A and B are shown apart, each in its own frame.
Chain A
Amino acid sequence: MAAAVTCRLTTALCKQFQRVVTVSSSLTHPQYATRTLSKFHSCWQSPPVYSRALHTSCVRKGLEEFFDLPENWGESTVKSGAPWTAKQLRTKSNEDLHKLWYVLLKEKNMLLTIEQEAKRQRVQMPSPERIKKVERSMKRLDTIVNEREDFLRLLQTGQEKSRPGSWRKNVFGKTIWHKFREYPIPWHLNTRYKRKRFYEPLHVAPFTRLSLENYLKNKMRKTRRERGNQKKLAEMFPKKTAHA
């Protein structure tokens, strides 16, 4: 029971995820043995077995995951660990990350439920910083997964970007990276796409020239200022004094 409780508390937010996974796999939940679940679900950590004086309709075990542990109901603060860092997540395998994503998702659902109920009852939600922690963990997980996908794609195909695109000049004369969109019809039949102009109209050319001039002017000013500063410093601290 204590192991199950700690399991629930530490799963989403603690470093010792591996330990928790091994603990949960050792808990053989009799109900799940009879169910025909997908491979993903059977190796998933079974919800901890609680003994509660609440109503015992079977579905509560699923919907109970939308609420916190009953010991924490009515508390003003609930202890929670630090969010997952990118460095910690990089050491995990893809299967572990996939499972962790769902753990975090369920945790987020639970916290949102509590937040909404707190607003309804006009009571302060216990430890609202947990939501931010979970969000950050999920974002970092997403970053790691995309990173791995990028590297795989680079190794296998040499493509740098997952979404195809190209450099194009837009109506304002600016060169932009245009990301392609999926359409069911070819571009020459797409009237809405043809209305979008990827060339600079003639009357916009002077403005492009002006903006280019502005950019070069600012760049030159910056370099000159930098050079002037260095000269002043060299005057203040000539090389001879350094040796003396």
Chain B
Amino acid sequence: MANVKRILFPLYQFGNPQLRIFRPTFNMTLVRPGKEQPPDTVQFRIPLEMTKFDVRNYMEKIYSVPVAAVRTRIQFGTNKKKNHLNQRVKRPDYKVAYVQLAQQQTFQFPDIFPEKEKQHEEGSAEEMQEKFMEDERQRQKPDPRRGGVNEWFGL
């Protein structure tokens, strides 16, 4: 449920003190860039209400990451796709922020889902299944003593 309760910020007039938010509800999602970005650029998806100043303060205060520059753009979510009732379905719009890090730091988006060897625990159903499948595969293989020759030939 996005933005269930509308957050009202106090009205700003010239001369008022800086607005301070004590418990921000903004979430920033780090995304892998679609296009190749320079090594010091990090790409985020942020809520539409956030500004460049908000992003800068967020990174510096909460994550203590020094920020040199922030650029933002709004990505329009498509309204073209149709569901099974032939109604247009809207994908939500979002804001993308390109944050350039200060102090010549670099960032490379890591591989979060590497292929891992799955080790099943002893005596579990999955282990027995794996063993069974392994046996079946062993049976299907031809006789190794024939040296790769097809069984159609000879004895």
Contact = CB atoms under 8 A, between A and B. Distances in A.
Contacts of B95: none
A68 interface: yes
A160 interface: no
A55 to B, nearest CB: 7
Contact of B61 (A41, A60, A63, A101): A41
A182 B101 CA distance: 38
A62 B27 contact: no
B122 interface: no
Interface stretch (A84-92, A118-126, A222-230): A118-126
Contacts of A41: 61, 64
B144 interface: no
A73 interface: yes
Given A59-B65, A184-B13, A74 B114 contact: yes
Q: Interface on chain A toward B: helix, strand, loop, or mixed SS?
A: helix
Nearest to B59: A62
A117 interface: yes
Give the most central of B23, B28, B66: most A CB within 10 Å. B23
Contact of A105 (B42, B62, B108, B116): B62
Given A73-B112, A117-B113, A182-B10, A109 B27 contact: yes
Contact of A102 (B32, B62, B65, B112): B62
Interface in B103-128: 103, 105-108, 110-116
Interface string A145-184: 1000000000000000001000000000000000000111
B63 to A, nearest CB: 5
B63 A108 contact: no
Contacts of B108: 55
Interface of B: 8, 10-11, 13, 22-24, 27-32, 42, 45, 59, 61-66, 101, 103, 105-108, 110-116
Interface of A: 35, 37-38, 41, 54-55, 57-60, 62-63, 65-68, 73-75, 98, 101-102, 105-106, 108-109, 112-118, 120-121, 123, 142, 145, 163, 182-184
12 contacts: A37-B64, A54-B110, A55-B108, A59-B66, A66-B30, A67-B110, A73-B110, A108-B27, A116-B45, A117-B113, A118-B113, A121-B112
